[in-house]
A and B are shown apart, each in its own frame.
Chain A
Amino acid sequence: MSRNDLFSRDYLTRRDFLKGSAAAAATVAVFGAQRAQAEEPAQKSPEEPIRAGIIGTGAQGTFLLSNAVKVPGVEIVACCDVYEPHLEKSLILAPDAEPYQDYRRLLDRKDIQAVIIATPLHLHAQMSIDAMDAGKHVFCEKMMAYSIEQAKAMARKQRETGKVLQLGHQRRVNSTYRHAYRMLNVDKVCGRVTQVRAQWHRNGSWRRAVPDKSLEKQLNWRLYREYSQGLMAELGSHQIDAVNWFLNALPVSVMASGGIDYWKDGRTVYDNISVIYEYPGGIRCTYTCITTNEHEAYYEMYMGDEGTLVVTPEKGLLFREPKAEQLVWAPMAHKDESKGKEAIVLDAGATRRAREGTGQEEIKTDASQDDYYVELEEFFQSVRTGKKPASDPESALQSCVTCLMANHAAQTGRKIQFNEKMFQI
């Protein structure tokens, strides 16, 4: 490696760059390397590595891939994308992987045990079903499928084959969410929950750059109805999945209104939508997803007669109602000021410490890992052990139905009543 190369951007893409660097590192680190060998061998997975492939290596696939390659005991041996620049990029992240443009050729490989699917929504079902038929375990990005029937077919295929089918609702593995769930449902810190408010507000077109107009629908598939279910599927399903989970319930009805009112750029999915769900017991959940203002970005807020819990993947806040009794551990908890009101912060460590001595079970939380990493680690663990993942086909089907019916309500202008059959596999 010449010094000229060091000053160029080649280090990002050149395949032979690491050869030189590793050799250079070895000469400088001779002392350390010898020590390392003498003291302990490099960590090895106790079992044979799981060989996995990824189908779809666009923006979301890249996030997943960059985390999948870090999971110990996993080898990414195949990458597949129909769009060559995305495929090339994936090979930088997984340099030993075999490239494919036809996912069926990847599924033909007998040595691959598991696949990660991060393709446009309308392809999830077919690819997942083909993969399970080919004997592969499947991690598929959320939302589960383009239609309710497709989602049910995926769930049925999972039951038939016994393979792991995990969906990418990563709030289910997020430590703050798990902690907040316990506080809401076990400790009942909000008392009786009566209302939920949730939102994902962005200020941007939601478009991806396309180098050539002919690639518009391929790269901006999220904007077109034939491939996408829009904001409810791509953003809302994360949060609606969490609301179903936190309330331990499924909605009984939904009303909604949406439109293409700002980004008149040829898209055919809504650029904003407002939804009202009714849950059993008169709990109402209002949800909005917009693309023209990012104030307060995203959160789910659970309102009860004793308190309010605001949850995001990064932070949870608890506001107690003035009339509520003080919690035993509250004086010791980490506090925060939000809009002039004192809140108890659910940042794990502090709240956990505060809970000591109350005789309640400690809730383990860990903010040191990316949620993408944690969900993939859980997936590969499920592949090894057969344990059911937190985001399983049953709950993912429920959130898929919940979101698709909001779209249906907005499109028809009708209030939709849910029934048990809709959620049944």
Chain B
Amino acid sequence: MTEEPASVLRFRRRAMGCIWELTLCPGQPDAPALAEAAFEQVSLAERLLSVFLPSSDISRINREGQSGPVKVSPLTFRALAHAFQLSELTGGAFDIACGALVRLWGFEGGEGHKPAQDEITRALKCTGRHNVLLDEASGTVRLARPGVRLNPGGYGKGFGLDLAMEALRAAGVQSALMHAGTSSVAALGVDSTGRPWQVGIRIPGQNEGRAAVLELQDWSLSVSGISEQSFSDGGRRFGHVLAPRTGWPVEREGWAVALCESAAASDALATAALVLGPEGTERILRGGGEARVIFYDEKGRPIREVGGGLEPGGARTESHVSE
């Protein structure tokens, strides 16, 4: 996904079900220790938010949150508060309180299957951030009704990237690029040639060729599309991105690429954009500063770019690259 000189330093680690890769510039002092520090943050994000770890805060909320307030780590509390504000901004198009739907459609660690409409209707009642109560004074989280589940897909990897980038910045690193499973990437500073980091967007469903190369500097980018994880039923293809308000998977072909400083926010915004489409996304980003979204069709052709109402930020569409 990335382009840079061959002599850069790369470190890889498996976390949250995918490979994470950190790129540091040649000659970066203490590179292995810095990588360790960055991956420690990723591991912290996983321990706090993973639905697959029984001891994570999210699993504890899902298990115990209906019977009483669950005290969580202040970092988890921040992540939830941030995710819920992003839900509000997107009118619920992105919502981590959609675990009931994710589980019903078999996307919580499974391959996916189509449920009956009445099951979807029931799960919808347990969906939405209004079912989750945050109490700042006690640092607790409570679920308003049985069946509500949190699923931080579309947020957790970005959160891990944000924590890792903060750790690197605090350690004095001026230049780094890190991606999580190639769906989210965060850049610190510029690459070793002094240019913004070059990030290639791959054409959906194809291993070769890129749809575009984008430049990133102190900025993050996330990609959301349905072709990576989907199943077919009755001639229809259902992707893993669910619209929390209808309870059905998004059927929009193509990909949405979201760009802003926070990787957690770009992660959420890419999901919301796929749900909302270009018009809806433009509405939520109107007057919204530099955050922006580029829509690509299923062949990787850019269709439309929305947001970025002010001057272009750290990222801009650089060039279209053919196969």
Contact = CB atoms under 8 A, between A and B. Distances in A.
Contact of A368 (B55, B88, B264): B55
Given A8-B262, A22-B136, A93 B73 contact: yes
B295 interface: no
Contacts of B63: 368
Interface in A1-28: 1-4, 6-9, 11-13, 17-22, 24-25, 28
Given A70-B71, A92-B75, A369-B55, A6 B82 contact: yes
A25 B133 contact: yes
Most chain-B Cβ atoms within 10 A of its Cβ — which of A28, A40, A43, A72?
A28
A42 B140 contact: yes
Contacts of B17: none
Interface stretch (B30-38, B110-118, B232-240): B30-38
A59 B71 contact: no
A290 B303 CA distance: 54
B134 A209 contact: no
Given A32-B144, A210-B30, A7 B82 contact: no
A35 interface: yes
A40 B69 CA distance: 11
Given A6-B86, A7-B261, A42-B69, A13 B133 contact: no
Given A28-B129, A43-B68, A7 B289 contact: yes
Interface stretch (A139-147, A162-170, A200-208, A317-325): A200-208
B73 A18 contact: no
Interface residues of B, dominant DSSP: helix
B81 A7 contact: no
B72 interface: yes
A85 interface: yes
Contacts of B162: 9, 12
Contact of B130 (A29, A36, A71): A29
B89 interface: yes
Contact of B166 (A4, A12, A72, A369): A12
Interface residues of B, number: 66
B260 interface: yes
Interface residues of A, number: 54
A8 B265 CA distance: 8
Nearest to B73: A66
A21 B71 contact: no
A6 B284 CA distance: 13
B305 interface: no
A40 B72 CA distance: 20
Given A42-B140, A69-B71, A94-B74, A59 B40 contact: yes
A204 B133 contact: no
Interface in B169-198: 170-173
Given A24-B88, A29-B144, A368-B63, A7 B73 contact: no
Contacts of B288: 3-4, 7
Interface in B39-80: 40, 44, 47-48, 54-55, 57, 59-60, 63, 68-69, 71-75, 77-78
A191 interface: no
Given A70-B71, A92-B74, A21 B81 contact: yes
A11 B261 CA distance: 11
Interface in B269-300: 269, 287-291
A25 B33 contact: no
A21 B76 CA distance: 13
A35 B261 CA distance: 37
Contacts of A67: 73
B230 interface: no
A370 interface: yes
A135 interface: no
Contacts of A43: 68-69
24 contacts: A3-B288, A4-B291, A6-B86, A7-B260, A7-B265, A8-B265, A9-B262, A12-B166, A21-B81, A21-B84, A21-B85, A24-B88, A28-B129, A29-B130, A29-B131, A29-B133, A32-B132, A35-B144, A36-B142, A40-B68, A42-B135, A93-B74, A204-B32, A208-B33
Interface of B: 30, 32-34, 36-37, 40, 44, 47-48, 54-55, 57, 59-60, 63, 68-69, 71-75, 77-78, 81-82, 84-86, 88-89, 129-136, 138-140, 142, 144-145, 162-163, 165-166, 170-173, 260-262, 264-266, 269, 287-291
Given A4-B289, A12-B163, A42-B138, 19 more contacts: A2-B289, A6-B85, A7-B266, A9-B262, A11-B82, A25-B134, A28-B84, A29-B144, A32-B131, A35-B144, A36-B144, A69-B139, A72-B71, A85-B170, A94-B74, A207-B36, A368-B55, A370-B47, A373-B55
Interface of A: 1-4, 6-9, 11-13, 17-22, 24-25, 28-29, 31-33, 35-36, 40, 42-43, 59, 66-67, 69-72, 85, 92-95, 204-205, 207-212, 367-370, 373
